[in-house]
C-alpha cells in the first residue's frame, strides 16, 4: 500500500497508467465480454448437468462484492507484475510477461487444482487483454463474476459460506 501511495504522489497520472481509466472503456470491454459470455454459458451448462443450484439468495451480493476482490487481484498481477516486467525488459517484456503473469495468477489460487487451472486459463486471455487496452475495470468485474459462477456452478462450493459461514 505504501508503494502505491508513494507512486501516485510522485505521478498522479499513475492510476491511469496502471489501468484505472475510463477513456477506452468501450474498447476494453469488447473481448472480455465475449470471453465472459462464452465462459458463463459453458459454466451454466456444466452446472445444470451437474445438478447445481444456479441461483441462490445471496448471488447478487456475491456479484457485487467479488469484483472488488477481482479488481484488487487484477491490479496486483497486471499492473504490479505484468506491467513492471514489460517496463524492465522492453525488448522481450511482453514475451516474459504473458507466461509469467499466467503462472503467477494461477499459483495465487493454489493448492486448489481446479481453481488453479481455471484461473491460469482465464489469465491466458486476461493478460493479453490488459497489455492491449491497459484497463483493469472489465478484467476486475469479469474476474469477480466468473469467479462467482465458477465456485457455484463448477466447483459446487459457495464462496459466501466459505468466507462468512452459513
Distance CA 97, CA 120 (A): 14
Distance CA 53, CA 107 (A): 29
- Rounded mean pLDDT, 31-46: 98
Query: pLDDT tier at 154 (50, 70, 90 boundaries)?
Result: very high
Which pTM does this prediction carry? Answer: 0.92
Q: How many CB atoms lie within 10 A of CB 65?
A: 16
Q: Which three cell numbers stand for residue 31?
A: 473481448
Q: Pick left, alpha or beta for residue 103 (phi over 0 → left; psi -120 to 50 → alpha; otherwise beta).
A: alpha
The string of pLDDT tens digits covering residues 136-147 is 999 999 999 999
Please report the pLDDT score of residue 106 as a whole number: 93
The string of pLDDT tens digits covering residues 80-90 is 999 988 888 88
Amino acid at each position: 500500500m505504501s508503494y502505491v501511495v508513494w507512486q501516485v504522489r510522485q505521478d498522479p497520472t499513475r492510476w491511469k497508467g496502471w489501468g484505472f481509466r475510463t477513456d477506452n472503456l468501450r474498447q476494453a470491454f469488447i473481448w472480455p465480454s465475449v470471453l465472459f459470455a462464452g465462459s458463463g454459458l459453458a459454466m451454466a451448462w456444466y452446472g445444470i448437468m451437474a445438478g447445481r443450484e444456479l441461483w441462490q439468495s445471496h448471488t447478487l451480493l456475491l456479484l457485487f462484492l467479488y469484483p472488488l476482490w477481482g479488481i484488487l487481484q487484477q491490479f496486483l498481477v497486471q499492473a504490479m507484475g505484468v506491467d513492471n516486467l514489460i517496463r524492465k525488459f522492453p525488448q522481450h517484456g511482453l514475451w516474459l510477461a504473458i507466461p509469467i503473469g499466467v503462472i503467477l495468477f494461477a499459483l495465487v489460487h493454489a493448492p486448489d487444482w481446479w481453481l488453479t487451472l481455471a484461473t491460469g486459463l482465464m489469465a491466458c486471455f486476461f493478460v493479453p487483454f490488459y497489455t492491449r487496452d491497459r484497463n483493469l475495470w472489465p478484467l476486475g468485474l469479469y474476474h469477480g463474476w466468473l469467479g462467482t459462477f465458477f465456485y457455484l456452478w463448477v466447483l459446487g462450493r459457495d464462496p459466501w459460506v466459505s468466507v462468512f459461514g452459513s
